[in-house]
Structure 1
């Protein structure tokens, strides 16, 4: 059994799945252990994939990774353009802006949950073989890991705090619109990082996998 991919996936899952998510349901030490255990479980399942199917599974995961990054990145850009355009209107109310923003939350939760829990961990295990494809996959995974840490530490708390605050049905003043743009972090560059991640997975899909050693 090759333990090297576990050194990548277990810390990722312990921090992202465990500390940042499961700690809301249980004490944080147990949450971290649960996140790490999930990573080990995915690894054990991946190890049982036969050589006959491993190449196809790897190709499929690379495509799913590219699709997930594209959905998240393009969705993020669209949300920024939509909210930024709305904030240029002098008749915009805080309540209308909130109703425009709230539907995006379950979209991001769904996309990133699939990436965090399944696609990103599994692709590291299945795609762990020497060659250019592994380099591209690991680059995309490291980029995603850093981006998710930033999301949980800064981006998500700021946006959720804004969504949970009270918003008036009166038109926002220029100062309030500026403050809303700052609270919603409309200058956040994560969509660019996600599109870079998409390109990395796309390149990985075009690279012929190396022979497993």
Structure 2
């Protein structure tokens, strides 16, 4: 039986802690602010320390219901971000219309939504789902696959999608906006893949 202090119980945090630091730094990089890169990395490091302390009570709750609810919650929130992006693409299908949206005050609402939902999965739900399912090999493999796809998508967001959109306030060519929109559709497809993998992780778990 795996104990709370055994090396096996600490494996999820060996994955989560570096990710937290990297995500914090990338968040600052996306904002085009060098000081925020350091602040974000420190915030990620502090969060990893708190998460390590919280991992113990999480491990005590690692029953089927807790694991499944956390995994499905992560899938639901990712689906919400997919839906928000889909609505934007349907309502503003051309580069001119999409650029106009991003340069209008209405873009603040979409930005606020993503700022609320994405960290919820990045920092809480995905790490918690990994921790709660780590002792189930079949679920763990699916969760690791979902996490890999999800965090690669977030990496692309921090390195390209977010900085590019933020730069549109100073103007952008329609060709670049068109390219961004095309690539964003591919990014949304990754969101759907994450939702599907998380759902199958619950459906196909060991019983």
TM tier relative to shorter chain? 0.7 to 0.9
Matches within 5 A, 1:37-116: 37-49=46-58, 51=60, 54-85=63-94, 87=96, 95=100, 98-99=103-104, 101-116=107-122
**Alpha-carbon contact 1:6-1:40 (below 8 Å) kept:** no
**Residue equivalent to 1:173:** none
The structure-2 alpha-carbon separation of the partners of 1:52 and 1:30, relative to structure 1 and needing over 3 Å to count, comes to: closer
Q: Does 1:191 align with 2:197?
A: no
**Alpha-carbon contact 1:10-1:39 (below 8 Å) kept:** yes
Alpha-carbon distance in structure 2 between the residues aligned to 1:187 and 1:132: 34
1:34 Cα deviation (Å)? 3.1
User: Which digits, 9 at most, give the CA deviation of each residue in 1:87-119, with x for residues without a partner?
Assistant: 4xxxx6965663364432112111102111211
Q: Does 1:8 align with 2:3?
A: no
Alpha-carbon distance in structure 2 between the residues aligned to 1:93 and 1:165: 15
1:74 Cα deviation (Å)? 2.5
Of 50-59 and 131-140, more deviation after overlay is shown by 50-59
The structure-2 alpha-carbon separation of the partners of 1:115 and 1:93, relative to structure 1 and needing over 3 Å to count, comes to: closer
Q: Does 1:136 align with 2:142?
A: yes
Could you state the TM-score of these two structures normalised by the residue count of structure 1?
0.77
Structure 2: runs of 5 or more not aligned: none
**Residue equivalent to 1:172:** none
Could you state the TM-score of these two structures normalised by the residue count of structure 2?
0.79
Q: Does 1:120 align with 2:129?
A: no
Larger radius of gyration: 1
SS at match of 2:92: helix
Of 61-70 and 27-36, more deviation after overlay is shown by 27-36
RMSD of aligned residue pairs (Cα, Å): 2.9
The structure-2 alpha-carbon separation of the partners of 1:36 and 1:85, relative to structure 1 and needing over 3 Å to count, comes to: same
The structure-2 alpha-carbon separation of the partners of 1:32 and 1:110, relative to structure 1 and needing over 3 Å to count, comes to: same
1:73 Cα deviation (Å)? 1.9
The structure-2 alpha-carbon separation of the partners of 1:95 and 1:63, relative to structure 1 and needing over 3 Å to count, comes to: closer
Higher helix share: 2
The structure-2 alpha-carbon separation of the partners of 1:77 and 1:93, relative to structure 1 and needing over 3 Å to count, comes to: closer
